[in-house]
Amino acid sequence: MPSNASIILYHTDACHLCELAAELLDTAKVSYRMVDICDDQSLVEEYGIRIPVVKLVAVQTELNWPFDLEALEHFLGA
């Protein structure tokens, strides 16, 4: 599985769906880095209506919400 440097969860505070996505990543037992899109206007423009988004940095692929544990594990290559 990818390391925490290679998985990003794009989110924002008070986003219930983002919390669910983080719980799924925790359940999948992978390390990841959370990036709050509100800290960067370009991220707001790119992800504002799509969050939560899981990104595999090494291959530049993204998994947009909605997804379940099975879809996440498939995306991560589990």
For 9-52, what is each residue's pLDDT tens digit? 999 999 999 999 999 999 999 999 999 999 999 999 999 999 99
Which backbone phi and psi does 59 adopt, to 5 degrees?
-115, 5
- pTM for the whole thing? 0.90
Q: What pLDDT digit, counting tens, does each position of 40-52 carry?
A: 999 999 999 999 9
> How many whole angstroms from its chain centre is CA 30?
11
Question: How far, in Å, CA of 56 to CA of 69, rounded?
Answer: 16
